[in-house]
Amino acid sequence: MAKTALVISAHSADFVWRCGGAIALHQQQGYQVTIVCLSYGERGESAKLWKQPDMSLDKVKAERRREAENAAAALAAHDIRFFDLGDYPLELDRAAKDRLVDVIRAVQPGFMLSHSQYDPYNTDHMYAAQVALECRMIAQAWGHNPGETVLGAPQLYLFEPHQTEQMGWKPDTFLDITPVWEKKRAAIECMEGQEHLWHYYTNLAENRGNHFRRNSGGQAGGRDCKFAEGFQSVFPRTVDSLA
């Protein structure tokens, strides 16, 4: 069976900032990474576009989709899907949740990625995390659409939010994305409507690289790492060694 992963992104740019390196790295390692964008972020995360003359909702959505598709291509993502469910607020009815469950079962991800469970600055983000957990649970249920292949128990990693000190997000996993940094930076630059975030997330990757080095042994033989991403795992991990 193919090695797979699934990203559930509230808005069409979130996956780039928060786990673009993980996407590119795992694609390079032979995974098929599918990205689901629940919304384009057309209302709340597109201020630069709305300031342009004669802008409309459809034009904003089209531009956000173009940016996200270009970013996914820069990361060599296997697939990107757009649910177009609206934002500020993002809301999923039962049909939309069933649609996401269908994707989860079709992908059969070895691991999943989504948002932090608390974000007072953007409730769409924490709602997406709630939806990811709920739909993961439904996809595991033998009684949901009996006869389909049920989901196993993939880890759900919560990627880093903005202003982490306000979110109760505590990373327990650092991923070295140095080998694919140029791909992530290229994807970041596809997000033309949010150029104000380019430097922030470059600097964050450098800081997490420092944390990777420190936690891999620091000056006592630790691995070198220039760029990294941090994640918080939701479920216990089963291991054969604590080394």
DSSP string, 193-211: GGGGGHHHHHHHHHHHHHH
The CATH number of the domain where 110 resides is what?
Answer: 3.40.50.10320
Give the pLDDT mean for 12-21.
Answer: 98
Is the per-residue pLDDT at 219 higher than 70? no
Are 174 and 130 in contact, with CB atoms under 8 Å apart? no
User: Does residue 15 sit within a domain?
Assistant: yes
Give the pLDDT mean for 182-208.
Answer: 96
Q: Which residues contact 16 (CB under 8 A, 6 or more apart)?
A: 68, 71, 75, 184, 187, 188, 190, 191
Is the per-residue pLDDT at 113 higher than 70? yes
Are 25 and 52 in contact, with CB atoms under 8 Å apart? no
CB atoms within 10 A of CB 120: 11
User: Does residue 241 sit within a domain?
Assistant: no
Q: What is the pLDDT of residue 241?
A: 87
Q: What is the pLDDT of residue 220?
A: 59
User: Does residue 239 sit within a domain?
Assistant: no
User: Does residue 135 sit within a domain?
Assistant: yes
Is the per-residue pLDDT at 24 higher than 80? yes
Is the per-residue pLDDT at 22 higher than 90? yes
Count up the domains in the chain and report the number: 1
Give the pLDDT mean for 137-164.
Answer: 97
Q: What is the pLDDT of residue 81?
A: 98
Strand partners, 69: none
Is the per-residue pLDDT at 208 higher than 90? yes
User: Does residue 242 sit within a domain?
Assistant: no
Percentage of the chain modeled with pLDDT above 70:
98
User: Does residue 240 sit within a domain?
Assistant: no
Q: What is the pLDDT of residue 217?
A: 81
* Digit-coded pLDDT (tens) for 85-103: 999 999 999 999 999 999 9
Packing angle between helix 181-190 and helix 57-74, nearest 10 degrees?
Answer: 170
* Digit-coded pLDDT (tens) for 167-182: 999 999 999 999 999 9
Q: What is the pLDDT of residue 154?
A: 98
Is the per-residue pLDDT at 222 higher than 80? no
Q: How far apart are CA 53 and CA 164, in angstroms?
A: 35
Q: What is the pLDDT of residue 221?
A: 66
Q: How far apart are CA 196 and CA 102, in angstroms?
A: 36
**Domain range enclosing 76:** 4-233
| Banded pLDDT at 242 (limits 50, 70, 90) | confident
Its pTM stands at: 0.96
In 3D space, the residue among 176, 182, 177, 181 whose CA is nearest the CA of residue 215 turns out to be 176
| Banded pLDDT at 1 (limits 50, 70, 90) | confident
User: Does residue 97 sit within a domain?
Assistant: yes
User: Does residue 91 sit within a domain?
Assistant: yes
Q: What is the pLDDT of residue 243?
A: 77
